[in-house]
Amino acid sequence: MDLSKILQENRIVIDVQSISKREVIAELVNTAIASGIEMDMDDTVNSFMERETLGSTGIGLGVAIPHIRIESIDHCLVVFGKSNGGVEYAAIDNKPVHLFFMIFGPLHEERQENYLKLMAAISKALRQSDVRDSLVAMDSSNQVLEFFANRAD
């Protein structure tokens, strides 16, 4: 799956300011709303936090992939965030998270396959230390977009 076709410049936060899990989720949801995705801020943040009670989406190695499915969209959307200082996120390795790929999937069952493929593609890419290191070093949304465009299969 080509992440460069899913990411958009107005859905990239290159310097996340939040320092807690709830705050970073709210900051990234706010970015999604500002980019034109229609949703209720409080309900969406609460949905992400409810998902976190099932198990942390902090997958380790400085990465979190918070994800939910919502009714107001008909295709997968991603908000990317990078925290220079790291966020205490209760990741599985108990280390701070620097890279966030927030996924919004459609609620419709027939579109679930793309949602699962997107999560798998992001997870696979971020298992590679060169990908993580490159993303952490970037200081503009254009760099992030170009990075994934150059990695497209």
- What does the alpha-carbon distance between residue 56 and residue 21 come to, in Å, rounded to a whole number? 10
| Contacts (Cβ under 8 Å, ≥6 apart) of 26 | 18, 41, 45
| Alpha carbon distance, N-terminus to C-terminus of the chain | 8
Distance CA 46, CA 59 (A): 20
98 flagged as catalytic: no
Catalytic residue among 67, 75, 98, 108: 67
Assess contact for 18 and 64: CB atoms under 8 A.
Answer: no
Q: What stretch of H or E contains 31?
A: helix 21-34
- Residues annotated as catalytic are 67
